């Protein structure tokens, strides 16, 4: 059985802190495919979650994170070849590298999560590099490109600068690791492979806890829709504003009593000033299943972003009809399992109206079946295990 060290810039608890945490949380669970430990940065805000480590039979090697203040960070970014989120981790490169050097002999495979620590790869010897497999989650070149296209003109310049930096970094690093780079979406993989014929990446999608996320009962609140996610994440914030101020007014012309639930971490902070009739803003909810179960449909009007969307997988597992954009369904492969809309508010509103008036029950059943067959976490852990065995030294 492969022995794996997962290296991450984000302390992986709690699970729902971000998409990286969700993946690592489930990869650390006991399974018959591999054994995994984790080398992670942490901040003082993470200390309160340390007791959750006892949920796992894994070792947690923790390194205290250090960061530039925002002004210095911005200046460093301006003069650096590296993108903003990589420069943000610069003070942590040395300590992570030293820990890797000290620990690598105990492991068959080193799993590098996210691209934010990539510069340390230039300072490791060949013996360690042979063990490394990259799991960047998303292509940030792809993400930034989408964000430029969805941004106001005066915001495009810094995003474009970051786009150029990401493109150069991703091209440089991925060339060095042919067939050893795995995204969570086929779209990200295809996009990066188009950079250069010597770049060969693949993907492993995220999973869902199918025993936890399942329909609770057949009752729902008539004419209600829900959108969930971490609302500090720019694509989610943008989607909420589009939903409430462009799409919702069009839906109300046909369905005046529609109810909208915006739920997720920091929702209550980001949207505290919103006061729209029948719009309910809720922050972090420990058990989101009750609200998902209560809503008639799930909506995801994302205009930019990258990677597979955990919130969409969870809604599909709960047998919800999901209406979303092409961005919402990246990495989710199936037919008649969701309803795709353009990013145009009128088109999206018409899809909501159509589904609320005549809900396609077969999509609900198909969605659950797809999740059970291709997106359970046990199925996904097996895929990771196959990769680890392939590159085990």
List pLDDT tens digits, range 28-87.
999 999 999 999 999 999 999 999 999 999 999 999 999 999 999 999 999 999 999 999
- When pLDDT is cut at 50, 70 and 90, the band that residue 155 belongs to is confident
- When pLDDT is cut at 50, 70 and 90, the band that residue 229 belongs to is very high
- Partners of residue 280 on adjacent β-strands: 261
- Dump the DSSP string for 248-305: HHHHHTT-TT-EEEEESTTHHHHTTT---TTEEEE---S-THHHHHHSSEEEE--SS-
Domain covering 2-207+376-390 assigned CATH 3.40.50.2000 in the classification:
yes
Task: Output the pLDDT for position 393.
Answer: 73
The first and second tokens of residue 137, run together, are 């989650």
* CATH number for the domain formed by residue range(s) 224-374: 3.40.50.2000
Q: Other CB atoms closer than 10 Å to residue 390's CB: what's the count? A: 12
Answer whether 227's CB lies under 8 Å from 243's CB: yes
Give dist(CA 184, CA 202) in Å, integer. Answer: 9
List pLDDT tens digits, range 309-339.
999 999 999 999 999 999 999 999 999 999 9
Average pLDDT over residues 186-209: 95
Give dist(CA 298, CA 53) in Å, integer. Answer: 33
- When pLDDT is cut at 50, 70 and 90, the band that residue 242 belongs to is very high
pLDDT above 80: residue 228: yes
CA-wise closest residue to 35 among 384, 391, 390 = 384
Lateral strand order in the sheet of 259-263:
279-282, 259-263, 224-228, 297-300, 321-324, 339-340
**Which has more confidence, 92 or 284?**
92
Q: Residue 135 CA to chain centroid, in angstroms? A: 12
Map out the domains of the chain as residue ranges: 2-207+376-390, 224-374
Give dist(CA 93, CA 132) in Å, integer. Answer: 16
Answer whether 244's CB lies under 8 Å from 280's CB: no
Q: Residue 170 CA to chain centroid, in angstroms? A: 18
Domain 224-374 in the same topology as domain 2-207+376-390: yes
Percentages of the chain per state (helix, strand, coil), in multiples of 5: 50, 15, 35
The first and second tokens of residue 346, run together, are 């009128």
């Amino acid at each position: 059985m492969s022995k794996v060290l997962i290296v991450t810039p984000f302390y992986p608890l709690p699970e729902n802190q971000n998409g990286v945490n969700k993946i690592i949380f489930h990869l650390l669970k006991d399974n018959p495919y591999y054994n995994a430990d984790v080398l992670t940065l942490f901040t003082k805000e993470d200390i309160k979650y340390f007791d959750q480590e006892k949920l796992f039979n894994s070792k947690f090697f923790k390194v205290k994170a250090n960061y530039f203040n925002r002004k210095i960070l911005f200046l460093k970014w301006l003069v650096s070849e590296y993108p903003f989120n990589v420069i943000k981790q610069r003070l942590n490169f040395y300590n992570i590298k030293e820990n890797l050097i000290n620990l690598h002999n105990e492991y068959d495979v080193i799993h590098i999560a996210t691209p934010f620590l990539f510069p340390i790869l230039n300072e490791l010897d060949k013996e360690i590099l042979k063990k490394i497999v990259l799991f960047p989650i998303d292509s940030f070149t792809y993400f930034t490109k989408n964000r430029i296209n969805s941004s106001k003109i005066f915001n495009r310049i810094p995003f474009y600068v970051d786009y150029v930096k990401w493109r150069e970094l991703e091209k440089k690093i991925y060339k060095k690791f042919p067939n050893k780079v795995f995204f969570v979406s086929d779209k990200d993989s295809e996009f990066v492979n188009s950079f250069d014929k010597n770049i060969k990446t693949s993907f492993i999608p995220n999973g869902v806890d199918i025993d936890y996320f399942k329909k609770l009962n057949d009752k729902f609140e008539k004419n209600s829709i829900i959108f969930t996610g971490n609302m500090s994440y720019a694509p989610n914030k943008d989607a909420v504003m589009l939903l409430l101020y462009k799409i919702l007014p069009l839906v109300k012309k046909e369905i005046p009593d529609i109810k909208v639930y915006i739920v997720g971490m920091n929702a209550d902070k980001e949207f505290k000033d919103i006061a729209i009739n029948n719009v309910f803003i809720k922050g972090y909810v420990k058990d989101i299943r009750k609200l998902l179960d209560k809503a008639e449909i799930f909506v995801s009007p994302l205009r930019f972003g990258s990677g597979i969307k955990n919130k969409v997988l969870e809604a599909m597992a709960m047998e919800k009809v999901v209406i979303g954009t092409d961005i919402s369904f990246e990495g989710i492969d199936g037919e008649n399992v969701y309803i795709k809309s353009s990013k145009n508010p009128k088109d999206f509103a018409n899809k909501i109206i159509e589904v609320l008036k005549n809900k396609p029950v077969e999509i609900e059943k198909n969605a659950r079946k797809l999740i059970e067959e291709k997106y359970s976490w046990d199925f996904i852990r097996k895929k990771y295990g196959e990769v680890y065995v392939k590159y085990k030294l």
